[in-house]
Amino acid sequence: MKTITLIQGDGIGPEIINSAVKIIDAAKVNIDWDLQTAGAGVIEKEGSPLPARVLESVRKNGVALKSPVTTPIGKGFRSVNVTLRKELDLYANLRPCCNIPSVKTRFDNVDIVVVRENTEDLYAGVEKMIDNNTAHSIKIITRKASERIAKFAFEYAVKNNRKQVSAVTKANICKLSDGLFLESARKIAAEYPQVQFKEILVDNCCMQLVQNPSQFDVLLLPNLYGDIVSDLTAGLIGGLGVAQGANIGENCAVFEPVHGSAPDIAGQDKANPTAIILSAVEMLNYIGEKEKGQMIKNALFETFKQGIFTVDLGGGVSCSEFTDKIIKNLQE
Ligand code: NAI
């Protein structure tokens, strides 16, 4: 039996993670969940939204399924997500974005994988007030992290039969920082002649994505552009409710949806659990439970095929009703 850390988060976190666990348990995958709470709910008792026990658990188990955690704007603790990714050196944020059968969107040929550098850039948190009216935030880009994420993107492309990697930067303006990221991508690209390498500026990339997304395959981006562009690509396939993700390092991996804690719908049983279910399917693939992962994916897609949708996709079922339908399809 495999022990997996379950990071419950806050906002809609508990609702969607319960859905994923119920489905995985119904598929009879042999998992021993090591439940670890994090986020707003534990600050008062433990003095931090990310107590050391959570990191220890992921280090020990090597794999985690995580639901979102709120990061208050402007003050207080450093983001739980940024800290987790940095502490565990989860350097690659992998966000596949592919049309889901029966989910209607503007385009029906989207199959993009966003590979986002996950440890530096403006997320390094090096900020200070120079005087009362001036704030400085330092963008950190290193050759080591840039080459490492480029290597990850090309390796992913080769292993998954992808044809093209596009490096997305603003190297015309951030000449040194994005320039270094691009230079690193070019260097690694030369080691993979079988994969087409393209370069595109992030603003043009956004415009092209909303007009003609099928021209893109793997997108390789520094942290901040990756964060923003992956919300855009989520929008192409039905929104944040269906966008899966994973944070991958040398020694551990944390699977989580792209979306946040959605405080506007928290506690209302309205959230779409699809994004975390698809993230969990990737987690099952990662631990070698591919067959069970495929079963769950089939049951989820069958549910959509039956016209059953949560509110964000124009339907009327609740998160728990949607979960029960998937389990029913799993058992049929
Ligand atoms: P958000 O992703 O939580 O929500 C944006 C919009 O999408 C909202 O209207 C929300 O209702 C909707 N939405 C998101 N997930 C949904 C789902 N599964 N089903 C149906 N609708 C869904 O982004 P927002 O509001 O900017 O951030 C809220 C909090 O989440 C912030 O504190 C932010 O820092 C945090 N956050 C955490 C992340 C993580 O833990 N990995 C990632 C992104 C944001």
Report CA(43)–ligand 1 centroid distance (Å).
Answer: 20
pLDDT at 38 over 70: yes
- Give me the mean pLDDT over the 58-68 stretch: 97
Q: Exposure of 240 by Cβ count < 10 A (0-12 exposed, 13-18 middle, 19+ buried)? A: buried
- Compute the radius of gyration of the chain from its Cα atoms: 20
Distance between terminal CA atoms of the chain? 25
Report CA(230)–ligand 1 centroid distance (Å).
Answer: 13
Of ligand 1's listed atoms, the one at least distance from the Cα of 257 is 41
Distances (CA, A) of 254 to 93, 123, 128, 152, 221: 9, 18, 30, 16, 19
> Tens digit of pLDDT for each residue in 129-163?
999 999 999 999 999 999 999 999 999 999 999 99
Report CA(259)–ligand 1 centroid distance (Å).
Answer: 5
Report residue 60: phi and psi, to 5°.
-70, -45
- Ligand 1 pocket (Cβ < 6 Å) reads 12, 16, 68-71, 81, 240-241, 256, 259-265, 271-272, 275, 312
Report CA(110)–ligand 1 centroid distance (Å).
Answer: 22
Residue of minimum CA distance from atom 30 in ligand 1: 260
Report CA(238)–ligand 1 centroid distance (Å).
Answer: 14
Of ligand 1's listed atoms, the one at least distance from the Cα of 311 is 20
Residue given tokens 């992921």 in the structure block:
58
Residue of minimum CA distance from atom 22 in ligand 1: 241
Of ligand 1's listed atoms, the one at least distance from the Cα of 9 is 40
pLDDT at 51 over 90: yes
- Cβ contact 181:222 at 8 Å: yes
Which residues have a catalytic role annotated? 123, 170, 203, 227, 231
Report CA(105)–ligand 1 centroid distance (Å).
Answer: 20
Say how far apart CA 330 and CA 300 lie, in whole Å.
Answer: 8
Residue given tokens 């690509």 in the structure block:
233
Residue of minimum CA distance from atom 17 in ligand 1: 241
pLDDT of residue 109: 94
Distances (CA, A) of 66 to 38, 59, 74, 277, 283: 10, 14, 24, 11, 11
pLDDT class of 75 with cuts at 50, 70, 90:
low
pLDDT of residue 43: 85
pLDDT of residue 262: 97
Residue of minimum CA distance from atom 5 in ligand 1: 262
Site to substitute for ligand 1 among 8, 231, 240, 254, most atoms within 8 A of C-beta: 240
Query: What pairs with residue 117 in β-bridges?
Result: 92
Query: What percent of the chain shows pLDDT beyond 70?
Result: 99
> Tens digit of pLDDT for each residue in 79-123?
889 899 999 999 999 999 999 999 999 999 999 999 999 999 999
Report residue 74: phi and psi, to 5°.
85, -20
Average pLDDT, the chain: 96
- Cβ contact 171:181 at 8 Å: yes
pLDDT of residue 48: 87
pLDDT at 203 over 80: yes
Residue of minimum CA distance from atom 1 in ligand 1: 260
- The amino acid at residue 196 is Q
Half-sphere exposure of 150 (CA within 13 A, CB side): 28
pLDDT at 259 over 80: yes
Closest CA to 12 of 211, 261, 322, 298: 261
pLDDT of residue 119: 95
Of ligand 1's listed atoms, the one at least distance from the Cα of 265 is 11
- Strand 2-7 and strand 31-36: pairing? parallel
Closest CA to 220 of 316, 93, 64: 93
Report residue 66: phi and psi, to 5°.
-130, 140
- Give me the mean pLDDT over the 258-282 stretch: 97
Grouping H, G, I as helix, E, B as strand and the rest as coil, residue 301 is: helix
Of ligand 1's listed atoms, the one at least distance from the Cα of 70 is 32
- Give me the mean pLDDT over the 14-40 stretch: 96
Grouping H, G, I as helix, E, B as strand and the rest as coil, residue 262 is: coil
Residue given tokens 């209607």 in the structure block:
104
- Cβ contact 38:51 at 8 Å: yes
Q: Exposure of 66 by Cβ count < 10 A (0-12 exposed, 13-18 middle, 19+ buried)? A: buried
pLDDT of residue 304: 98
